[in-house]
A and B are shown apart, each in its own frame.
Chain A
């Protein structure tokens, strides 16, 4: 089956995104119509809790998904995802380390995550010149190293900090230290940046040699992709902890639906990643309300069946 007409698919995705954003923000323990809220409390819940959270989820999902697409083309590996080079591990180690050092500071974990992610990216960057295969190997080994550091920190953490650490590692969109506006701006810049190099990315798909023959500065493009995609990952992780699955699967889903051309793939991945995370987070806060589930659990539970169905259907 050929991909659907890309422009139509993108338009449908845009409509779906708008619909999901509007519905998700109104959904919760009780339905809130933002234009006719039942009382002042409902209005406050809508504008100050639900809407920022929905927008945060959208931006984080979009960032992870675009970052995943970037890592996949740069490493020329379909299994690549935002955390493949150990950024999630270093971010989590930073967050947990900071939580242990500053137990009563609310922003310790996000701040630590950002420092950890930046450190992780810096170390991986040293291996950027080795080419995709060795870079990937270096990243996987570094990821194992950070996982060990994380395990060490977790085994030293006092009991009452553990819940906090696990909560963060499974993803929490209710307490982003970065404002949704800022996150959406970062997402916008990322998408524009991706579009600016989309032709070069398409040519990179042909393989490094061919791309070089077509006049693409491959080394510079690699480094730019590594830094750009890692920075997106770092921002997403700082805002919401480590949320898996979105960055791996959404780019593949979009390739199946609208084809591999990055001019369309990048905006589509941003929208679809956002939609998946908004859907997952809405489920997380409604299915067992007034209790909540960790959002990281639901991204996979919602995404896996959809992805498998596409995989079978689009042979």
Chain B
């Protein structure tokens, strides 16, 4: 009897406990996160985990709230001591062997690797970060919204892919290859990276190779207006009819939530390029 009586009462206790747990906003509210890349930082803030981010890398400048957080890494290494002083429980890194990361692992800090090779990979990484920080549902909402935007971008594609050259750096001439998320992002907006068949993430190429691949647009992640002007002047000599389009480097070069903004802006510019080309024919 005693045993049977205790069963339901124990269950009731469990229910109460569960209800109490549900009342706490999330079970991981005490997670203390280090964002070691600007993209990771933007993802964490976008899914609502911003308040849990306690330290960021030097180049994390978005959203503005991230600018005031302690800088515990640059693109080269993690500064182990100041990082540990923040008592982190989770570190989000872009590379598994990021210098200094092993010291964090040894101290029991969980390390998550975020290195998306595609736009879908960016969304998946955001969902994973949501789960790891207790923002599964808000992360899911944000990702669903981004996915709808991605669908709208796909719907905006009307004609066959426009071949484009994405100029990472002019000297030496660097560009993106097949495994790069930028190549994938271009595909989602109806453009085709002329070097998408190359097996390297980034590669060194030549003016000759670009000229022979006959791109219909050249995309320059702009760092300054001056550089864009200089690149326009350079390419006009080789490909006089091909427009050189500047994109915001922070939007296009970071595999984070704002990539969609960069893609949308670029798609608008490319649509006008197509229009010009059609009109010319």
Contact pick for A45, options B171, B212, B226, CB 8 Å: B212
B205 touches A292 (CB 8 A): yes
Known pairs A159-B75, A285-B206; A106 contacts B198 (CB<8 A): no
Contact pick for B173, options A159, A160, A174, CB 8 Å: A174
Chain B CB within 10 A, most for which of A50, A167, A291: A291
- Rounded to whole Å, the gap between the CB of B31 and the closest CB of chain A is 28
A-B contacts, CB under 8 A, total: 77
B223 on the A face (CB < 8 A): yes
Contact pick for B205, options A28, A106, A172, A291, CB 8 Å: A291
A60 to B174, CA, bound (A): 23
A220 on the B face (CB < 8 A): no
Residue count of chain A within 8 Å CB distance of chain B: 28
B residues in contact with A106, CB < 8 Å = 170-171, 230
B172 touches A164 (CB 8 A): yes
A residues in contact with B75, CB < 8 Å = 159
* Beta-carbon nearest neighbor of B173 in chain A: A174
A291 touches B200 (CB 8 A): yes
Q: Mark B223-244, 1 if CB is under 8 A from A, else 0.
A: 1101100100000001000000
B15 on the A face (CB < 8 A): no
Q: Mark A7-46, 1 if CB is under 8 A from B, else 0.
A: 0000000000000000000001110000000000100110
B195 on the A face (CB < 8 A): yes
- Rounded to whole Å, the gap between the CB of B57 and the closest CB of chain A is 10
A41-B211, A160-B223, A167-B204 are known contacts; what are 15 more A-B pairs with Cβ within 8 Å? A29-B212, A106-B170, A106-B230, A159-B75, A163-B174, A167-B174, A174-B172, A174-B207, A175-B171, A285-B206, A289-B209, A290-B205, A291-B203, A291-B205, A294-B204
Taking beta carbons and an 8 Å cutoff, which residues of B are in contact with A?
59, 74-76, 169-174, 177, 195, 198, 200, 203-213, 223-224, 226-227, 230, 238
Which 7 interchain pairs have the tightest Cβ spacing?
A: A290-B209, A167-B172, A159-B75, A291-B203, A292-B204, A49-B208, A45-B208
